[in-house]
């Protein structure tokens, strides 16, 4: 299971009644498949997964499967607070067509979630999952952090193929790459850290900006592969302002506004997540113009 390259954590478009707009979703994914993206991640944070039902998740994965060819990788987010619900999700989403599942660390009972607990959790999930597992370490969302020694241990499991790290702590990314057992793969979850992470040995990125400017994200990846470092760094610098807007700054509302401006189908996030304000839309429009 090769997860190198660039994946968009695809947004989930809704209609006016906040129901999933499968046609819009399929249209976006279809267009993404016309680029050199390595695949897509459905049911990620940027897909508003915490605001979706189980049944909606299955529909989205099945719809993606219909347009993601077998040569690309269809990853589905499957993290839940309990081990058993995570396993059930992995089975359900694999049955719906996922090639791999992305499993977020639990995060609610922070004082109880020790490194040992994480190791047991991911091991049990990986033992039971019919498809490979990618660990998702998302401290900015969950408030808990999976440390290098635990990741080293988990990298020995034959059904755990990699980790997505969302924090911008490059020392941690560097250590992950250093301590894991090949062919375990490290990818990052944040476009502003993509270039640096590729330099230290990460093999790709699951980055929100790839919903908006997939071609440029792939270009950054390929420039590094071709060792054209100065060009890659210059492109990284150009991409960072937009990358901030569609994640930390304006959230899913900002991401969807950017998609609308870039010719994809975004729309509004599900309540209570706010849509981008008119001021935010102006900022994003200018950032896109700079990239054109």
Q: Which of 156, 271, 277, 282 binds its own copies (CB under 8 A)?
A: 271
- By CB under 8 A, tell whether 59 contacts its own copies: no
Residue 273 within binding range of its own copies, rule CB under 8 A: yes
DSSP, collapsed to helix, strand or coil, labels residue 102 as strand
Query: Considering beta carbons, is residue 196 or 261 the nearer one to its own copies?
Result: 196
List the x/- string, 149-168, binding to its own copies by CB under 8 A: -------------------x
Q: In what order do the strands lie in the sheet with 39-42?
A: 5-7, 204-206, 185-188, 160-165, 133-137, 100-104, 73-77, 39-42
Query: Binding of its own copies at residue 274 (CB under 8 A)?
Result: yes
Question: Which residues within the stretch 179-198 sit at the binding site for its own copies (CB under 8 A)?
Answer: 190, 192-193, 195-197
Omega before residue 183 within 30° of 0, cis = yes
Element (H, E) at 97: none
Shortest distance in whole angstroms from residue 34 CB to its own copies: 29
Residue number, 33 or 93, with CB nearest to its own copies? 93
Closest alpha carbon to 8 in 58, 62, 75, 61 = 75
Q: In 58-72, which positions are buried (b, 16+ CB within 10 angstroms) versus exposed (e)?
A: bbbbbbbbebbeeeb
Separation CA 107–CA 31 (nearest Å):
34
Interface pick for its own copies out of 66, 109, 228, 282 (rule CB under 8 A) = 109
Residue range at the interface with its own copies (CB under 8 A); choices 43-51, 127-135, 214-222, 258-266 = 43-51
**Active site (annotated) includes residue 227:** no
Neighbours of 116 (CB within 10 A): 10
Question: 110, 164, 256, 268: which one is catalytic?
Answer: 164
Stretch that binds its own copies, among 20-28, 36-44, 153-161, 247-255 (CB under 8 A): 247-255
Burial of 234 (0-12, 13-18, 19+ CB in 10 A): middle
Q: Does 62 bind its own copies (CB under 8 A)?
A: no
45 vs 129 by CB, closer to its own copies: 45
* Nearest CB to its own copies, comparing residues 31 and 107: 107
Dihedral sign, Cα of residue 252, residue 55, residue 141, residue 40: negative
Beta carbons within 10 angstroms of residue 170's beta carbon? 16
Chain residues binding its own copies by CB under 8 A are: 18, 45, 50-53, 80-85, 106, 108-114, 116-118, 120-121, 124, 140-141, 143, 168-175, 177-178, 190, 192-193, 195-197, 199-201, 229, 233, 236-237, 240, 248-253, 270-274
Catalytic residue IDs = 164
């Amino acid at each position: 299971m090769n997860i190198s390259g660039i994946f968009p954590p695809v947004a989930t478009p809704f209609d006016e009644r906040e129901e999933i707009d499968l046609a819009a979703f399929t249209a976006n994914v279809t267009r993404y498949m016309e680029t050199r993206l390595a695949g897509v991640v459905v049911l990620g944070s940027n897909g508003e997964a915490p605001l979706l039902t189980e049944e909606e998740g299955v529909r989205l994965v099945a719809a993606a499967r219909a347009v993601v060819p077998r040569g690309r990788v269809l990853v589905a987010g499957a993290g839940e607070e309990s081990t058993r619900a995570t396993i059930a999700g992995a089975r359900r989403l694999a049955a719906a067509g996922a090639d791999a599942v992305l499993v977020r660390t639990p995060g609610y009972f922070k004082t109880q979630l020790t490194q040992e607990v994480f190791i047991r959790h991911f091991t049990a999930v990986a033992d039971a999952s019919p498809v490979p597992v990618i660990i998702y370490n998302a401290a900015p969302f969950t408030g808990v952090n999976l440390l290098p020694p635990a990741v080293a241990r988990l990298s020995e499991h034959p059904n755990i193929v990699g980790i997505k790290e969302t924090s911008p702590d490059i020392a941690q990314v560097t250590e992950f790459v250093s301590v894991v057992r090949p062919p375990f793969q490290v990818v990052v979850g944040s476009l502003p850290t993509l270039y640096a992470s590729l330099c230290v040995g990460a093999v790709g990125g699951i980055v929100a900006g790839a919903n908006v400017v997939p071609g440029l994200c792939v270009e950054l990846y390929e420039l590094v592969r071709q060792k054209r470092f100065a060009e890659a760094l210059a492109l990284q610098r150009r991409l960072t302002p937009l990358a901030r807007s569609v994640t930390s700054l304006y959230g899913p509302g900002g991401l969807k506004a950017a998609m609308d401006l870039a010719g994809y189908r975004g729309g509004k996030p599900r309540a209570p997540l706010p849509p981008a304000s008119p001021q935010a839309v102006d900022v994003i429009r200018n950032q896109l113009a700079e990239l054109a």
